[in-house]
Amino acid sequence: MEKVKIAVLVSGGGTNLQALMEAEARGEIPDGEISLVISNNPNAFALTRAKNFNKKTVALNKKQLGKDLFEEQLINTLKQNDIGLIVLAGFMCILSFNFTKTFANRIINVHPALIPSFCGEGYYGLRVHEKALEYGVKVSGATVHFVNEIPDGGKIIMQKAVKVLEKDTPETLQKRIMKQAEWKILPASTQKVCAMIKKELI
């Protein structure tokens, strides 16, 4: 059977995209192939990373298009490319109910904390780690989950815990969680969901 076609949606530097593409190159996503990388930011370095791996890229400027037209073009682009799984990898846009319903059980996201801690609207980027350190948690980590209309509200696929060190800053904690958790469970979850899609288990 053919591999599941994956679209990775990005907004910035693309470190999680890089981890996904490297995992694919090592043969760790045998049931899927990254066939498209889409950014809402035409200047995102993630697009350069994608081109370095010979991936097809599309930039849809959300600021210019506005939310409704942006989502309409995004849906059309995904459908035209026969995308079976959408991976949000540092994608800084909240998707509408219409979008998540259109691709129900076909969108996954990585969040840099152990959901249900430090998640939901407004919890992204360094803010997640700032709040974790403010709270004084001894363990944080990352979660890959299905995406629905509630920010960080979908069913959990995988989690990995990472120790918080006393001398941590939001930046050092962010880097450790990326290296020890995000870059491992995002490719593994992508493979797991692709295998489920092929077997029509979701």
Residues acting as catalytic residues: 111
Q: Which two tokens stand for residue 22?
A: 């490297």
* Rg (alpha carbons) of the chain, rounded to whole number: 16
How far apart (Å, rounded) are the C-alpha atoms in residues 122 and 128?
9
C-beta contacts of 172-179 below 8 A and 24+ residues apart: 173/129, 173/132, 173/133, 173/140, 174/112, 174/126, 174/129, 177/112, 177/129, 177/140, 177/141, 177/142, 178/15, 178/16, 178/112, 178/142
Packing angle of the helix pair 45-52, 15-25 (nearest 10 deg): 10
Question: Measuring CA to CA, which residue among 75, 76, 44, 78 is closest to residue 61?
Answer: 44
